[in-house]
Amino acid sequence: MNPFVFACITPHGGEIIPELQGEKPERMEKTRKSMGRLGALMDKARPDSLIVLTPHGTRINGQFAVAVSERLEGEAAENGSSFMMERKTDLMLASSILAEAEAKGLPAAGINYGTSAGPLSCLPLDWGAIVPLRFMPEVPVVVITPSREITYEQHIAFGRAIRKAAGESGRKVGLIASCDWSHTHDSEGPYGYHPAAEELDRRTAELIESGRLEDLALFDPELVENAKPDGIWQTLILAGAVPEEERHSRLLSFEAPTYFGLICAAYYQNREAREND
């Protein structure tokens, strides 16, 4: 049985946040609308906690990093504006995920800062978490950052560990894979232009729509290097957490209005929920 009341793939470009859209709100309008819809669907599912998979949190080379600070606090800035956020950590769920990872022999570590507990136990909340959480219900979170030194297969296995921990938690859990895609869509962007960006994002959208998320692991390493996505790793964790037979999915939108690709996708708890949306 699917232990997640709702799951989704979201982007995390700062301008998606309405408070940071600046003077060109049309630039990410399609994505902003999709994020509003994903937030409404998550709110309707009434989760007790949210697990956020982000590539931009505190990284540990060769290990999955699970935040176990009592709270997280951060700021996203864009177009001369800023947006602050603070969230409490679901420490029991975070500890259960770490225990399941250890039981499966997966490299994972809890990370903290300042003090072991209390208000000074606080880690930075990165923009990969802040952007999707801006649209989601304000409940405790577990923030997890994968490592690219770990194999794709281990990412899928870590997703299975998350699934087991969520299922045994007694909580209603939502899952967010925060993913921007290829970063070489625009010659004026920081990584320049490469035609691989369009190819990888097109193929990714097809795999998300068809439910074949594991096939992301089959992309040619040269294609990945040239396109420079940051979504493969979080999506493979989602693939382990929500197996193919339970992926009642819908691709909501895809666009690349600047130098990086933005994809929004919903994963409903069952087929009935998908058909009734």
CA distance 41 to 35: 10
Domain residues of the chain, as ranges? 2-274
Q: Are 274 and 209 in contact (CB under 8 A)?
A: no
Decide yes or no: CATH 3.40.830.10 for domain 2-274.
yes
Q: Are 43 and 50 in contact (CB under 8 A)?
A: no
φ, ψ (nearest 5 deg) of residue 261: -85, 145
Task: Note down pLDDT in tens along the chain; length 277 residues.
Answer: 789 999 999 999 999 999 999 999 999 999 999 999 999 999 999 999 999 999 999 999 999 999 999 999 999 999 999 999 999 999 999 999 999 999 999 999 999 999 999 999 999 999 999 999 999 999 999 999 999 999 999 999 999 999 999 999 999 999 999 999 999 999 999 999 999 999 999 999 999 999 999 999 999 999 999 999 999 999 999 999 999 999 999 999 999 999 999 999 999 998 888 888 8
**Buried b / exposed e along 164-180 (16+ C-beta atoms within 10 A):** bbbeebebbbbbbbbbb
SS3 state of residue 189: coil
pTM > 0.75: yes
CA distance 51 to 37: 18
